[in-house]
A and B are shown apart, each in its own frame.
Chain A
């Protein structure tokens, strides 16, 4: 690994100032499970690594607020997957966090890091999109809130400005009852990067939200407000047709080694019907998800 300077600022202002001053020559470090791989393989060569874990204003808490659940920027996947409130009200996010890497990775990897790394295959991205999460960030001009759907651009690129640091991720309180599920397709059992990721939430008002990842530069959020997907009695053939339309924006890369575009698209359709079925069942069985 090439030498770099390591900074561990104690306050948010100092971290923002460092990142703003050095721009692309500085990289924030949270869990490090993506960053250190890239530092080692030389695909990034920053002069400074800014460890955000010493910042007094950041925390690893999951806290209930008036109209949302707030996940601190330092919260790791293990804690998200195990949190009772997330398992109850945001089940698909708990499921997504539980399949990021293996235990050792989940013990270090943060939710904030997962979205900032902005991998098209990021497991938590579809779930955060479906739940309408908000990213809270602080930069040189102050704090702002970014809707999840306006956060991702493409692999490694987000709408965060120079010097901006994610401080929390907020999940709006569920408006009604819903059933949701996160599904993925990997090359092998056990831990692996996903070739397809999909989160589906069926709401009691008949609306179905879907988000899929690993099928293009970023995860994509779509909605079915016709009531067809949420209808337990609607025939599968009609649902498959509807899913085809909703998945039209999927554009998997032909260069990926993990799976061919044809395979990914075929699996998206399979997972789509399966996820809708599971979400409908969970809506019928569970209290709120």
Chain B
């Protein structure tokens, strides 16, 4: 029985990482403080706002409610992992095109939730988008543009196929 650090191996944005983490540190803390990936935001810390949303094995989770040690062996995608080189992810482009980012704080979480939604449901209705993003709050209340952006990205995704 020890509170000492433990080594975990995981893949973050396509890159294999092996790091020592404290058992009581969340995935959010390790992503931001140990791996320097500050796109993922810390906000409510109770699983209500979604600012810390990341993909763990292709499933969206609140990284503030998951211990880093639980991510051992997992594949994690943060907002930094969405673009390919200089090319933005279609959702990022759609968010830009529709002016969906106001202050921008919630946008990394919104983008990750939208990514998970379109992966499961490439042709969402407006109601599907509302439900899929219900766990991501935007205090600028930019919901209209965010929903519009996700619907536009779904259409753009179709055009690419």
The reply to whether the CB of B2 lies closer than 8 angstroms to some CB of chain A is: yes
The reply to whether the CB of B152 lies closer than 8 angstroms to some CB of chain A is: no
CB distance from A29 to the nearest CB of B (A): 8
Residue interface mask B99-129, A partner, CB < 8 A = 1: 0000000000000010011000000000000
Most-contacted residue by chain B among A6, A101, A105, A190 (CB, 10 A): A6
Q: Which residues of B contact A37 (CB under 8 A)?
A: 45-47, 65
Q: Which residues of B contact A249 (CB under 8 A)?
A: none
Q: Are B3 and A32 in contact (CB under 8 A)?
A: no
The reply to whether the CB of B82 lies closer than 8 angstroms to some CB of chain A is: no
Which B47-66 residues have C-beta < 8 A from chain A?
47-48, 50, 53, 59-62, 64-66
Measured between alpha carbons, how far is A7 from B3 in the docked complex, in Å? 10
Measured between alpha carbons, how far is A47 from B2 in the docked complex, in Å? 9
Indicate whether A4 sits within 8 Å of B24 (C-beta atoms), given known contacts A103-B116, A104-B50. Answer: yes
Q: Specify which of A40, A49, A103 is in contact with B132 (CB 8 Å cutoff).
A: A103
The reply to whether the CB of B26 lies closer than 8 angstroms to some CB of chain A is: yes
Q: Which residues of A contact B26 (CB under 8 A)?
A: 1, 36
The reply to whether the CB of B134 lies closer than 8 angstroms to some CB of chain A is: yes
Residue interface mask A42-58, B partner, CB < 8 A = 1: 00000111010100000
Q: Are A53 and B50 in contact (CB under 8 A)?
A: no
CB distance from A187 to the nearest CB of B (A): 12
Q: How many residues of B contact A (CB 8 A)?
A: 33
Chain A residue at minimal CB-CB distance from B24: A1
Q: Which residues of A contact B64 (CB under 8 A)?
A: 36
Q: Specify which of A3, A51, A103 is in contact with B70 (CB 8 Å cutoff).
A: A51
Measured between alpha carbons, how far is A53 from B50 in the docked complex, in Å? 24
CB distance from B134 to the nearest CB of A (A): 5
The reply to whether the CB of B69 lies closer than 8 angstroms to some CB of chain A is: yes
Which B15-29 residues have C-beta < 8 A from chain A?
22-26
Q: Are B23 and A102 in contact (CB under 8 A)?
A: no
The reply to whether the CB of A255 lies closer than 8 angstroms to some CB of chain B is: no
The reply to whether the CB of A108 lies closer than 8 angstroms to some CB of chain B is: yes
CB distance from A184 to the nearest CB of B (A): 14
Q: Specify which of B1, B70, B134 is in contact with A53 (CB 8 Å cutoff).
A: B70
Measured between alpha carbons, how far is A102 from B48 in the docked complex, in Å? 8
Q: Are A191 and B67 in contact (CB under 8 A)?
A: no
Chain A residue at minimal CB-CB distance from B64: A36
Chain A residue at minimal CB-CB distance from B25: A1
Measured between alpha carbons, how far is A27 from B132 in the docked complex, in Å? 31
The reply to whether the CB of B135 lies closer than 8 angstroms to some CB of chain A is: yes
Q: Are B23 and A105 in contact (CB under 8 A)?
A: no
Q: Specify which of B6, B46, B48, B113 is in contact with A103 (CB 8 Å cutoff).
A: B113
The reply to whether the CB of A158 lies closer than 8 angstroms to some CB of chain B is: no
Q: Are B48 and A32 in contact (CB under 8 A)?
A: no
Indicate whether A6 sits within 8 Å of B67 (C-beta atoms), given known contacts A101-B135, A104-B50. Answer: yes
The reply to whether the CB of A278 lies closer than 8 angstroms to some CB of chain B is: no
The reply to whether the CB of A5 lies closer than 8 angstroms to some CB of chain B is: yes
Q: Specify which of B6, B24, B59, B116 is in contact with A3 (CB 8 Å cutoff).
A: B24
Q: Which residues of B contact A107 (CB under 8 A)?
A: 59-61
Q: Which residues of A contact B22 (CB under 8 A)?
A: 3
Can you spell out 29 A-B residue pairs with CB atoms less than 8 angstroms apart?
A1-B24, A1-B25, A1-B26, A3-B3, A3-B23, A4-B3, A6-B6, A29-B67, A32-B67, A33-B65, A36-B26, A36-B65, A36-B66, A36-B67, A37-B45, A37-B46, A37-B65, A40-B45, A48-B1, A51-B67, A51-B69, A78-B59, A103-B117, A103-B135, A104-B53, A107-B59, A108-B61, A190-B134, A191-B135
Closest 9 CB pairs of A and B: A102-B135, A6-B23, A3-B3, A1-B24, A102-B134, A5-B1, A104-B62, A36-B65, A107-B59
Additional 9 contacts, C-beta under 8 A, given A4-B23, A36-B65: A5-B2, A6-B23, A32-B66, A37-B47, A39-B24, A49-B23, A53-B70, A105-B65, A108-B66
Q: Chain A residues in contact with chain B, CB under 8 A?
A: 1-8, 29, 32-33, 36-37, 39-40, 47-49, 51, 53, 78, 101-105, 107-108, 190-191
